[in-house]
Structure 1
Amino acid sequence: MSKNPYYDNTKPTPNLLSKHSIGTAFLYGCAAGLIGVGAMTFSQKIEQAFTGRPNSYVPGHTLEKLLGMPYRPDSERLGLQHAMHWGQGALVGGLRGVMSAYGIVGFVVDFLFTGVRILTDQSLENYAQVGAPPWTWPFNEQVIDVIHKGVYAFTTGYVVDRWLH
């Protein structure tokens, strides 16, 4: 029998079981996600100081629609705004925690996780009929969103990878 050059079955397969439970990994990820949201918010405030871009209240209105609440002005939705902004970041961070616990770690994963964060935002916003698909936005807004979601993803990934490994 000839040996397959692409697969060496003499090496043991890596242990796919984590030393952390899924629940523990998820909670670590949630905490890292909150740190990631903090970093993302900080980067947004710095960017807004230079560009003059106003705050977006889309997260608050998304949660408003998802909960079946009647529309209210932005100024009356600050609690929902913060709940969605921080809550979604924590929950998506939980996924990154589970990924980390099972060996899906590092820079490339953080890059891919940026897409997960964008997809989560867009899925909820478009399901709630509050947002518009990103490809309909002006190019500069697309770039700004990807940069800020990248700050979230890389911060969250770095923190949870350090905590769990």
Structure 2
Amino acid sequence: MWGRAALRGAAAGLAGVAVMTAGEKLEQRITHRPNSYVPARTLTALATGRRLSESARPPVRNHVMHWGTGAAVGALRGVWSAAGLRGWRASAWHSVVRLATDQTLENATGVGSPPWTWSRQDQVVDLLHKVVYSFATGLVADRLIPPLRGPRIVRDDGPSRVTRGVSGTRGAGGLWD
């Protein structure tokens, strides 16, 4: 059951990458920002332990990392959907996971630089694209993957108000509903 959710989540992640990529291409037409090959350089560093030069532009590796990361992080979102972590709040948190995944891999390999060293425009552009990815992925995942657990009682406004959630365990609630 969790494996199926992860596979469907990976498919949702691929859909999210497609939406993000379309948004990136539109943004690049407006800003004239060139393609980034950081994904390709990151994949090379992870797979071989060597770093490519800044001028290296291997398109196949770029696509493998771009789409592969989207599928992998999408698999997690699929498991979240199955576990009852659904909706816009889950997608917002998933944006953080996507950003953290990229930054961890890029900086651990020495390919990237910390985002606080980037220009404000680059920070905003990267954040917006990853948010688009996560919300598109979440929309597809929540439609493809039913919750695997029954309703639970959730207290989200203190002890006086009780609402119904979608997960299978009791909890403080509110954050994911």
TM over 0.5: yes
Q: TM-score, normalised by structure 1?
A: 0.84
Identify the match of residue 120 of structure 1 among 95, 101, 106. 101
* Structure-2 separation of matches of 1:114 and 1:152: 8
Segments of structure 1 that go 5 or more residues without pairing to the other structure are 1-20
Shift of 1:69: 5.8
Q: Based on CA coordinates, which of the two structures has the bigger radius of gyration?
A: 1
Task: Give the letter aligned to residue 78 of structure 1.
Answer: P
Q: Check if 1:137 corresponds to 2:101.
A: no
Q: More relative contact order in 1 or in 2 (CA 8 Å, sep 6+)?
A: 1
Could you tell me the TM-score, scaled by structure 2's length?
Answer: 0.79
Amino acid at match of 1:155: A
Whole-angstrom distance in 2 between the partners of 1:159 and 1:51: 29
Q: What residue is the counterpart of 2:12 in the other structure?
A: 32
List alignment gaps of at least 5 residues for structure 2: 147-177
What letter corresponds to residue 29 of structure 2 in structure 1?
A
Deviation at 1:74, TM superposition (A): 2.8
What residue is the counterpart of 1:74 in the other structure?
56
Q: CA RMSD of the aligned region, Å? A: 1.1
Tell me the equivalent position of 2:167.
Answer: none
1:46 is aligned to 2:26: yes
The runs of 4+ residues in structure 1 deviating greater than 3 Å are none
**Aligned ranges 1:68-107 → 2 under 5 Å:** 68=48, 70=50, 71=52, 73-75=55-57, 77-107=58-88
| Residue-by-residue CA offset, 1:86-113 (whole Å, 9 max, x unaligned) | 0010000000000000100001111111
